[in-house]
Amino acid sequence: MANTISDVEIKRSHCAMCGQHCGMEVFVNNGEIVKIVGDKNSSSKGFRCERNTLGALDYHNHPSRVNYPLKRVGARGEGKWQRISWQQAMDEVAQKISNIREKYGPEALAIMAGSGTANYGWLDVRWANLFGTPNRFFSSMNCFAPKGIVHCAMYGSDATGSPQRGVTKCIVFFSGNKKHSRPSTWKTIVDTKEQGAKIIVVDPRLTELAKIADIWLQIRPGTDAALAYGMLNIIIQENLYDKEFVQQWCLDFEKVKSCVRKYTPEVVEEITWISREKIIEAARTYATSKPALIEPSIDVSHSHLGGDPVLQSNLAKCALRAITGNLDVKGGDVMRDTNQASSLNYDDNMHWDKLINHPMRKRDSLSAEKFPISSVEGFALLRESMAKPNGKVDFIADWCFSPMASPHYIWQAILDEKPYPLKALIIDGLSLMCSRTNTRKIYAALKSDNLDISVVMDQFMRPEAMLADYVLPATDWFEVSWLDLVRNQTSEQAVTPKFERKSMYYFLRELGIRLGQEEYWPNTLEEMYDYIIRPRGLKFQEFSSHAPTARYKKYETDGFRTHSGKVELAPSLLKKLGYELWTPFKEPPRTPVSAPELAKKYPLILITGARTITFFHSTLREIAKLRAHHPDPLVQIHPDTARENGIADGDWVYIETPEGRIKQRAEVTKIIHPKVVGIEHAWSFPEQSGEDPNLFGIWESTAGVILPDDPELCDFQGGPPLRALLCKIYRV
C-alpha cells in the first residue's frame, strides 16, 4: 500500500475523528507524521473536514494523551496512579476478572464501548461472547440500534440507502444535520438536489439541511411517529403505494392500513404542529418521486422518550420504504447484500454460539425482562430467520440487535445488586459520564465499593477514567490498521504506536489468552482480518481493490431474511417477544400534552444532541484549535423565548429539569421553535481539574446531568431518553 517519495513514505490510512472514517494519505518521515491529505481513491474522494485539518496531528501528538498503563493507588477519583507494565496490568486484571467469573458467573462483567479508541465495536462483542456475558453496551443503543432492530425484524437486513447522484429523486431526513454530523456526505446531498432530487426534512430546527429542503416540516419533538402514520394514510388512501410489491412481498398490509386510517392530515396537524397542506405535500412528493429513500439518520428521531413512540416511529418509516416500492432499488433504500456480507467469516468470527450456549452463563442480560429485544433470547430468534438462505447472519446485526443491557440496569446491578450483582466493568473509549443519562447515578456506581474492578482503555483521561482502577493507553487511528466491512475498504497502519499505546485488539487478545481463549485469537489484528475475509480468497492487503458489484432487488432471488421470507410489516419476531405493534400513537410521557401539570413548572420542550462540526460527541475538546472555534457549550433559544425570560445572546443560562440543572451559553436564534430549547450534549472541560468531585467540570454543562434513565422512559430496546422532555430556562 505504501508509496515512497524520497525519504517520505505515503501511507493509505483514514481518519476516525468521527464515524465517517474518511480515507487519508499520511506522509511519514522517520516514523513521524509530517503531512495529511485526503485520499482521492477512497470512498470519501479526498474529503477533509475541519476536525481533521485543524486537529488530527494535534490529537496524535497531544501532551495529555494516556501513554502508559496506570494502576490506581489512592481512592477512586483521588488522582493517584502508579505506572505499571502491560504485563502486570494484564495479569492483575485477568486474575480479578477470573475470580469474579468463578464466584458470580460471566454475567457479572459488563463491557461498554464507544468510538473513542478508533478501534472496533465488534471486537468487544466477540470477546464478550467468548467470555460468556450478555451485558454489554455500545453507543448504537442511542443511534443506530432502534432503527436497525426494526429493519432486521421487518426486512431481515439493514436498509442502508444513501443518495445516488442523478438517480435518487427524493430524500427524506427525519432530523440529522448532515453538514455537521456527516460532513463527507453533505456534498453528495447537495449534488443530488442540484440534479433534481426533492429534499424533505423533518426537524424542529431550521438546520443547514432544512435550509436547502424543498419541504421543511417543523415538527413538535416526540411526534414523528404520528407524522409517519399520517404519511402512510395519505399514500394508502390515494393509492400511491406500489400495489404489486405489496401484494407479492408484504405481509400485514391490512393491519397497517387499519392502524393509520384515523391519522388524517387534520389529526396529524394537531399532534405535530405541521400544517395539513405540508403533510399532504410531503407524502405525495415522497410517494411519487421514485426512486426515493428515507435516510437512515444516526439521530433516529426526536421521539427518543417512552418505548411506544420510538417503536411506532421506526415501524412506520420502515413501512413507508416498503409499500412505496423503494426498498432495495437503485437510488432508493438499498439493503445490505447479505450474500456478500456472509461470504465473510464474520458470523463464525463473532462466536455467537459461545454466548448462547456458554456453559457458565446462567442468566440473560440485566435488562432482558424489561427489554426482551436486546436479550440473548431475542438474538437467538433473529438468527433463526436471518440464517436463511445461506446459514449466515448479516454482520450489521451485532451493532443493532445483539444482546445489550440498558444502562439503567447496569448501574442498578452495581449499586443494588439487582437483578443480580455486576462486579466488573471494561470501558472501551466511551465517556460514560459525558454521553449517558443520569450522570449522578453513573458516578455513584463507578465509586461504589460493590464494583470490584473497572478498567478503562482510552486515549485521554476522562471522568470515568479518573474513577477507574486501571487506565490503559489506547492507540489512535494512525497507529492501527482498519478493515471497513461497510464501505468495503481498508487502511494501513501509518506509524508505530507512540510510547506504550496499544490497540484494543492487543488488550482483548492478551486478556482472552489469560482467560482460556487462546485458540480464538490470531497473533495480530491483520491475521484476524485475513481470517475474516478468507472466503473471498483475499488477504487484508487486497480487500479494497476487490469491491463486489452492487446488486438490487436481491429479494427476487434470495427472499427476505425474515421467518416468512417476506417483508413483515408487523414483524413476527417482535410479536414473539411480546411487543404490541401498530398501536395508536402514544404521546411521550413528558410533553405539554401528556404532563400538563409538570409543564406549568417546565414550560419548554427540551431537545439535546445538536451536532457541531468541531467535536464528535464527547471527544476532541482537548484540541486547542478546535476549542478556539467553539469554546463554550451552546443552548439555542428563539428570540421571543429569550426576551420573555430576560436572556440576551451570549448570556450564561441555566437549563433545568426535574433531575437538576446545568448551564450553557445562550445562542439566540430564529432557527428553533419558540416552544423548544436545544442544548449541546457530552460537554466536559479537559482544562479543569480531573480530580473528584470536579472530574473535568462534568457537573457544569453536560446534558446527562438533567436527563433521566428510568426504564419507563426508555425506548423499546432500553435506550435512555434524550429529547422530548420538559425544561425551564433562566439567566445564571
Q: At residue 25, does pLDDT exceed 80?
A: yes
Q: At residue 297, does pLDDT exceed 80?
A: no
Residues 613 and 709 in one domain: yes
The domain that holds 620 is classified in CATH as: 2.40.40.20
Q: Which cell is 384 given?
A: 433463526
Final residue in a domain of this structure, among 315, 334, 353: 334
Q: At residue 351, does pLDDT exceed 70?
A: yes
In a domain, residue 386? The reply is: no
In a domain, residue 109? The reply is: yes
Q: What is the pLDDT of residues 265-285, one digit of tens each?
A: 999 999 999 999 999 999 999
Residues 329 and 199 in one domain: yes
Identity (one letter) of the amino acid at 727? C
Q: Which pLDDT score is estimated for 395?
A: 59
| Closest to 595 (Cα-Cα) out of 642, 658, 660 | 658
Q: Within 13 Å of residue 294, how many CA atoms lie on the same side as its CB? A: 31
In angstroms, the CA 48 to CA 37 distance is 8
Q: What is the pLDDT of residues 244-272, one digit of tens each?
A: 999 999 999 999 999 999 999 999 999 99
In angstroms, the CA 601 to CA 199 distance is 38
In angstroms, the CA 715 to CA 713 distance is 7
Task: Output the DSSP codes for 162-216.
Answer: ---TTT--EEEEES--HHHHSHHHHHHHHHHHHTT-EEEEE-SB--HHHHT-SEE
Q: At residue 398, does pLDDT exceed 80?
A: no
Residues 433 and 311 in one domain: no
Residues spanned by the domain of 93: 70-135+405-544
Widest CA span of the chain, in angstroms? Answer: 72
Residues 537 and 437 in one domain: yes
Q: Which pLDDT score is estimated for 719?
A: 86
540 band by pLDDT with thresholds 50, 70 and 90:
confident
The whole-chain average pLDDT of the chain stands at 90
Q: What is the pLDDT of residues 594-616, one digit of tens each?
A: 999 999 999 999 999 888 889 98
Residues 515 and 430 in one domain: yes
Q: Which pLDDT score is estimated for 396?
A: 59
Q: What is the mean pLDDT of residues 538-543?
A: 83
Identity (one letter) of the amino acid at 308? D
Residues 37 and 93 in one domain: no
Final residue in a domain of this structure, among 283, 299, 334: 334
**Element at 426 (helix H, strand E):** strand 424-428
Q: At residue 687, does pLDDT exceed 50?
A: yes
**Element at 663 (helix H, strand E):** strand 660-668
- Which residues, 6 or more positions from 174, have their beta carbon under 8 angstroms from its beta carbon? 202, 224, 294, 295, 297, 300, 301, 313, 317
In a domain, residue 367? The reply is: no
The domain that holds 104 is classified in CATH as: 3.40.50.740
CB-based contact 134:126 (threshold 8 Å): no
In a domain, residue 671? The reply is: yes
Residues 75 and 55 in one domain: no
Identity (one letter) of the amino acid at 512? G
In angstroms, the CA 150 to CA 312 distance is 10
Residues 172 and 288 in one domain: yes
In angstroms, the CA 442 to CA 439 distance is 5
Which sign does the torsion angle of CA 228, 232, 238, 241 carry?
positive
Q: What is the pLDDT of residues 607-649, one digit of tens each?
A: 998 888 899 889 999 999 999 999 999 999 999 999 999 999 9
Measuring CA to CA, how many Å separate 598 from each of 589, 635, 728? 11, 22, 11
How many secondary structure helices (H) and strands (E) does the chain include? 30, 25
In a domain, residue 339? The reply is: no
229 band by pLDDT with thresholds 50, 70 and 90:
very high
The domain that holds 28 is classified in CATH as: 3.30.200.210
| Closest to 493 (Cα-Cα) out of 536, 529, 537, 533 | 529
CB-based contact 120:373 (threshold 8 Å): no
Residue bearing the bigger pLDDT, 79 or 340: 79
In a domain, residue 699? The reply is: yes
Q: What is the pLDDT of residues 425-445, one digit of tens each?
A: 999 988 999 989 999 999 999
CB-based contact 622:64 (threshold 8 Å): yes
Residues 540 and 473 in one domain: yes
Q: At residue 391, does pLDDT exceed 70?
A: no
The domain that holds 294 is classified in CATH as: 3.40.228.10
Place of cell 449522578: 440
Q: At residue 698, does pLDDT exceed 70?
A: yes
Final residue in a domain of this structure, among 334, 367, 397: 334
| Radius of gyration of the chain, Cα coordinates, nearest whole angstrom | 25
Q: What are phi and psi of 20, to 5 degrees?
A: -85, -30
Which sign does the torsion angle of CA 436, 439, 442, 443 carry?
positive
Alpha carbon distance, N-terminus to C-terminus of the chain: 55
Q: Work out how many domains the chain is built from and give that number.
A: 4
Determine how β-strand 676-679 pairs with β-strand 482-484: unpaired
In a domain, residue 180? The reply is: yes
Q: Determine the 3-state secondary structure of 136 from DSSP.
A: strand
Residues 169 and 298 in one domain: yes
546 band by pLDDT with thresholds 50, 70 and 90:
low
Residues 444 and 522 in one domain: yes
In angstroms, the CA 446 to CA 463 distance is 10
Q: Which pLDDT score is estimated for 159?
A: 85
pTM: 0.94
In a domain, residue 141? The reply is: no
In angstroms, the CA 491 to CA 15 distance is 10
Residues 446 and 536 in one domain: yes
| Closest to 164 (Cα-Cα) out of 19, 11, 331 | 331
Percent of the chain scoring above 90 in pLDDT: 69
509 band by pLDDT with thresholds 50, 70 and 90:
very high
Determine how β-strand 660-668 pairs with β-strand 652-657: antiparallel
Q: At residue 568, does pLDDT exceed 90?
A: yes
Q: Which cell is 558 given?
A: 434470495
